[in-house]
Amino acid sequence: PLPRPTMPLRGSPAVAPLLVLVLAACAARASEITFELPDNAKQCFYEEIAQGTKCTLEFQVITGGHYDVDCRLEDPDGTVLYKEMKKQYDSFTFTATRNGTYKFCFSNEFSTFTHKTVYFDFQVGEDPPLFPSENRVTALTQMESACVSIHEALKSVIDYQTHFRLREAQGRSRAEDLNTRVAYWSIGEAIILLVVSIGQVFLLKSFFSDKRTTTTRVGS
């Protein structure tokens, strides 16, 4: 299975409709989406971000073609913060310089026949502390410290699981594509071998067949 949660997005083959990500208000927000990006298509997402918020955009192409896609990130003024062409995977971290709606798009417009499956993880802000420090006059207890350590370790485990699922999905796609190519190549070789064998049989048969010659006498 692909990384959780997955949300396939559908749109027209030319330019898919824009999607606004509406997330619950909290100290830290994150969205993980896996979607289909058709050939000659472009998919854009919007996120409302407050000034001074640290954000991270990470994406990876799972299936399709050469596993590459164009990515572009713009601030509310339209200034390009990040732009990469035909990337298989990448990660970009930035701090919002102003309040407003930030836009990031994935484009497969350079591809004519192959559609792509793209996964991205967009994190806004930092995770709130497990034990808020306000209204506390004492340090964390040993049990609370252990809970914090376990919480951080579990987050790392989740990240590793996500990356392993992505690699597994990409590897499976490559293996299926290679299997299809090998199958077609084997069928082609079998047909060529059959044609060559039949041709050799007829060629050898022509060497050993008797050719009758007729002689015509012309009298004076």
Confidence tier at 23 by pLDDT (50, 70, 90): very low
Which residue, of 74, 101, 126, is where some domain finishes?
126
Are 103 and 174 contained in the same domain?
A: no
Is the model more confident about 189 or about 204? 189
The CATH number for 44's domain is 2.60.120.680
The reply to whether 35 and 122 lie within a common domain is: yes
Residue 148 domain flag: yes
In a domain, 11, yes or no: no
Residue pLDDT, tens place only, 43-93: 999 999 999 999 999 999 998 888 899 999 999 999 999 999 999 889 999
Residue 106's DSSP bridge partners are: 43, 71
Q: 40 lies in a domain? A: yes
Tell me if 23 is assigned to some domain. no
109 shares a domain with 161: no
Please tell me whether residues 71 and 158 are part of one structural domain.
Answer: no
Query: Residue 10 pLDDT > 60, yes or no?
Result: no
Asked whether residue 7 is domain-assigned, the answer is no
Q: Is the pLDDT of residue 26 over 70?
A: no
Torsion of CA 108, 109, 112, 115, to 10 degrees: 20
The residue-averaged pLDDT of 188-205 equals: 90
DSSP for 130-197 reads SS--TT--SPPPHHHHHHHHHHHHHHHHHHHHHHHHHHHHHHHHHHHHHHHHHHHHHHHHHHHHHHHH
**Main-chain dihedrals φ then ψ at residue 30, nearest 5 degrees:** -150, 145
pLDDT in tens, 104-150: 999 999 888 888 999 999 999 877 777 666 556 566 778 877 887 88
Residues 112, 54: one domain?
yes
| Mean pLDDT of the 94-98 span | 92
> Could you list the residue range(s) of the whole structural domain that residue 39 is in?
30-126
- End residue of a domain, out of 102, 126, 150: 126
pLDDT of 156 above 60:
yes
Residue 2 maps to a domain: no
Same domain flag for 92 and 44 = yes
Whether residues 121 and 144 share a domain: the answer is: no
Residue 210 lies in a domain: no
Q: Are residues 122 and 58 in the same domain?
A: yes
- Contact partners, residue 186, CB within 8 Å, separation at least 6: none
DSSP lists the bridge partners of residue 123 as 30, 56
Q: Do residues 105 and 59 touch, judged by C-beta distance below 8 A?
A: no
Paired residues of 54 in beta bridges: 95
Are 48 and 117 part of one and the same domain? yes
Residues 116 and 185 in one domain: no
Number of domains in the chain: 2
Check residue 211 and give its pLDDT.
60
Residue 97 located in a structural domain: yes
Q: What is the mean pLDDT of the chain?
A: 79
Residue 38 sits in the same domain as residue 108? yes
Of 126, 149, 164, the last residue of a domain is 126
Q: Using a pLDDT cut of 70, give the percent of the chain over it.
A: 76
